Structure 1
Amino acid sequence: MKTTFLLIMLFLSAISCQSGDRTSSDKNQQNTTESEIVGTHWKLIQLEGQDVKMADNQEKEIYFVLKSEGKKVEGFAGCNSINGTYTLEEGQRIHFSQMAVTLRACPDVAINENDYLQVFELADNYTIHNGELALNVGKRAPLAVFKAAADH
């Protein structure tokens, strides 16, 4: 009886150590991912599965940056500047709110800014792989894909 009890206790102790290690590993991975996404200049390279190239008449690339101070979002949508706030949660969850856009008229811009802005409304999770950030909704194909830009 004592031997069985001792074996059960050893087994439970081993399981709790393993799950504790996995949890701290998951937290380290989440922190690494969070440090990758915040403060990075994310240049739009794909929107709704279509490649995005900067138009000749476009003043700068389409991008966004998550600022750690105040959890602010800043960026450019092709014609207008954008800003708002964001929250990051465990499991690579992301939520954007209070998104605002300037109201410049740019009739010749090649991209529909509303399609780009809708990404921030719909996205609820993200993935980062090989310097590319995908903003997703559920488990569907990415709404938009961004590349980390070295200079901005």
Structure 2
Amino acid sequence: MKKYFNIFIAFCFLYSCKSIPLKDSNSDTAYANSLEEEITTYFRATGNEPFWELKIGKEKIVFTSLIQGKEKLIFLSVKSIRAMDANIKTYKAGNGESNIIVSIQQIECQNSMSGIISPYKVSIEIKNSTETTFQKIEGCGKYITDYRLHDIWVLEELKGNKVFAADFQKELPRLEIYAEDNRFIGFSGCNSISGSLFFEKDLLRFNNIISTLMACTKKNNKEDKFIKALQSTTTYSIKNNRLSLSSPSGKLLVFKKVD
């Protein structure tokens, strides 16, 4: 009897081991796709009554809501159309089953439930192919600054030339970027600096730069050139722990990431 009991216990143990679920590769793929979507999303908007969310990315536009028949709609990304007489961008997209028109206006917008202030007002017109008229809803949104910018960067190159501490009054310039808050602080070689970021898809600008007023000699001081280059920045790239800032005329600044 004891022999059969031991066999039964061993069988149960083996069965329980086999019943442990294996890692689902489909779940991994879904998670990876979700993560990629978050990384490539550069604008997000939400609205209430009914609740909805819009994500505009480099590859697709995703609209989710509690609206019946429009719970999740996906469109290929399209180029925006900028209005001539106002600071408004419009996106028009369709997928064969639904159509969406998104208007983004640069004006302060307050969420009707949370009270949070966003820099953009968003209007959406949406309809399915079986509908004759568009349903219009409104909400608030903001551009999502590339999280990879969030770090400390020390200057390596200025307009194609490698820089050294001796090129500045005290030490090499650096930037500490806070991507979530769209702001930065730093050091320009002699003075401390701070300012705001404007981010829109691949566009990056350093605005409202404020500097302390330390007395700095002109000898061995490229501080002015550094600040002018920073103010001229319009685009960026990040590769191999290097942040490159450029303008239409070419590469302006290269920084190295530091911990």
| Fold match by TM threshold 0.5 | yes
AA partner of residue 47 (structure 1)? L
Q: Deviations over 1:60-85 (max 9, x none)?
A: 43101112353221110110011110
CA distance in structure 2 between the aligned counterparts of 1:68 and 1:85, rounded to whole angstroms: 10
Contact residue 172 and residue 189 of structure 2 kept, 8 A = yes
Secondary structure of the equivalent of 2:157? strand
CA distance in structure 2 between the aligned counterparts of 1:130 and 1:26, rounded to whole angstroms: 22
Name the residue aligned to 1:93.
203
TM-score, with normalisation over the residues of structure 1? 0.70
Secondary structure of the equivalent of 1:104? coil
Name the residue aligned to 1:120.
230
CA distance in structure 2 between the aligned counterparts of 1:35 and 1:126, rounded to whole angstroms: 13
Name the residue aligned to 1:63.
174
Is 1:50 aligned with 2:161?
yes
Name the residue aligned to 1:129.
239
Is 1:28 aligned with 2:39?
yes
**Which of 134, 141, 147 is the aligned partner of 2:256?**
147
**Which of 167, 171, 186 is the aligned partner of 1:75?**
186
TM-score, with normalisation over the residues of structure 2? 0.43
Q: Which has the higher strand share?
A: 2
AA partner of residue 75 (structure 1)? G
**Which of 84, 100, 113 is the aligned partner of 2:195?**
84
Q: Deviations over 1:104-151 (max 9, x none)?
A: 11216523211100122110110111110110002x43101001012x
The two structures, once aligned, show a CA RMSD in angstroms of: 2.6
Runs of 4+ in 1 over 3 A off after TM superposition: 24-27, 56-60
Q: Which runs of 5+ in 2 are unaligned?
A: 1-34, 43-144
Contact residue 168 and residue 221 of structure 2 kept, 8 A = no
Q: Measured at CA, do residues 116 and 56 of structure 1 come closer, stay the same or move farther in structure 2, by a change above 3 Å?
A: closer
Q: Which has the higher helix share?
A: 1
Aligned identity (percent) is 28
Contact residue 80 and residue 101 of structure 1 kept, 8 A = yes
Q: Measured at CA, do residues 25 and 57 of structure 1 come closer, stay the same or move farther in structure 2, by a change above 3 Å?
A: closer
CA distance in structure 2 between the aligned counterparts of 1:109 and 1:75, rounded to whole angstroms: 21
CA distance in structure 2 between the aligned counterparts of 1:30 and 1:93, rounded to whole angstroms: 14
Name the residue aligned to 2:103.
none
Q: Which runs of 5+ in 1 are unaligned?
A: 1-23
CA distance in structure 1 between the aligned counterparts of 2:231 and 2:172, rounded to whole angstroms: 21
Contact residue 43 and residue 147 of structure 1 kept, 8 A = yes
What is the deviation of 1:89?
A: 1.4
Secondary structure of the equivalent of 1:120? helix
CA distance in structure 2 between the aligned counterparts of 1:136 and 1:57, rounded to whole angstroms: 21
